[in-house]
Structure 1
């Protein structure tokens, strides 16, 4: 099925972007260590540390956003949704995701404008004159990936609205408290430890 294949392909791209975000955080942490050690021990700070940090923030703040949406990692208010089920739940989820998709589309338009403006005027940072357009390009690209994920979820929920007995594909599902706790324990201790306690 084309829908499932596209979901798999999109998942690989989201994983790649998420890894970029993770490595940018790691690189920034190592740079911060070098900054502290260099300043304290040798009185030689990393040149342009603030500029580099400012530009890197766009990467780790936005690159993983589509991955987070796919796995349902964003903060949600489930007071009402948690009490719904079946077609009503899927319809409300679809409506919410559709509103978010429209908002993200507007954000893409706005961020593209700022990227183009930065590129045209040759905007740069204050200290070491880093060009700002690469970090400003990250934002519309990451948001475009998020928009694709949201559209996939709108379609996935629309399938479930049409037939609630279908298997959910490409949509995050609400987990109850017990299931959430079990997943957190598995992440912390490993799946074998949980199975051993259950046995």
Structure 2
């Protein structure tokens, strides 16, 4: 599944958001890589030099928010979130896009609630000067990541909602900013093309 980009206004919003999603996903990947390097350093320093890193557990805790949430909007754009497609896969035309509209609205409601309460949680942490227990690192930057990541995700859902409503009114239009369901044959063909491209690049 993937988002189909054309030339309409929804696609322009789509293309505008893509660099933001890619940057957030890169930061999430960086957190994962940094945590891996930090883990190796912790093992080596503790085992060989008997000098573990100070505040290692605190850094692991603070990095979890970035790793868990910054890639959410990117994953939504790629259609990689877990979706129940047993029903959607058998729908066509207006019933399909009506179901997508309902599902996206529900998702936006849930994400909107999470934005509100996670931002309140960040504000409380910032005002109280909350810190980690061991090294006393400030906690609020990690907590701020959550509403920021959810806000990007909310905008992505808004773009998909607009694209679904557009197709609900006129299913014959070219898809813009929506997730397209692929059958097994299409998915296998895309994977084969991707594998061929990788092989050609490695020669």
Q: TM-score range by the shorter chain?
A: over 0.9
C-alpha displacement at 1:190, in angstroms? Answer: 3.4
Select which of 62, 71, 87 maps to 2:69: 62
Q: Is the Cα–Cα contact under 8 Å of residues 186 and 193 in structure 1 kept in the other structure?
A: no
Runs of 4+ in 1 over 4 A off after TM superposition: none
State the SS of the aligned residue for 2:138: coil
Structure 2: distance between partners of 1:50 and 1:85: 50
1:129 to 122, 132, 136: 136
Change (3 A) 1:186 1:48: farther
Per-residue deviation, residues 161-186 of structure 1 (Å, max 9, x unmatched): 01101111111111111222333444
Distance 1:28 1:192, change over 3 A: closer
Q: Which runs of 5+ in 2 are unaligned?
A: 1-7
Deviation of residue 32 (structure 1)?
Answer: 0.5
Bigger relative contact order (CA 8 A; separation at least 6): 2
Correspondence 1:80 to 2:48 = no
Among 103, 114, 119, the alignment partner of 1:107 is 114
Please give the per-residue CA displacement for 1:7-28, whole angstroms capped at 9, x wherever unaligned. 1110111011111111111111
- d(CA) in 1 for partners of 2:171 and 2:9? 20
Q: 1:179 aligns with which of 182, 186, 196?
A: 186
Partners of 2:184 and 2:138 in 1: CA distance: 47
Q: 1:3, CA displacement in angstroms?
A: 2.8
C-alpha contact (below 8 Å) 2:115/2:151 kept by paired residues: yes
| Distance verdict in 2 for CA 1:46–1:190, change over 3 Å | farther
Q: CA-atom RMSD, angstroms?
A: 1.5
After TM superposition, the structure 1 stretch with the greater mean CA deviation from structure 2, 3-12 or 108-117, is 3-12
Are 1:190 and 2:196 an aligned pair? Answer: yes
- Equivalent residues, number: 193
Task: Tell me the alpha carbon deviations over residues 23-62 of structure 1, each in whole angstroms, 9 at most, x when there is no partner.
Answer: 1111110101111111111111111111000000100111
Q: Does 1:158 align with 2:168?
A: no
Q: Secondary structure at the match of 2:102?
A: helix
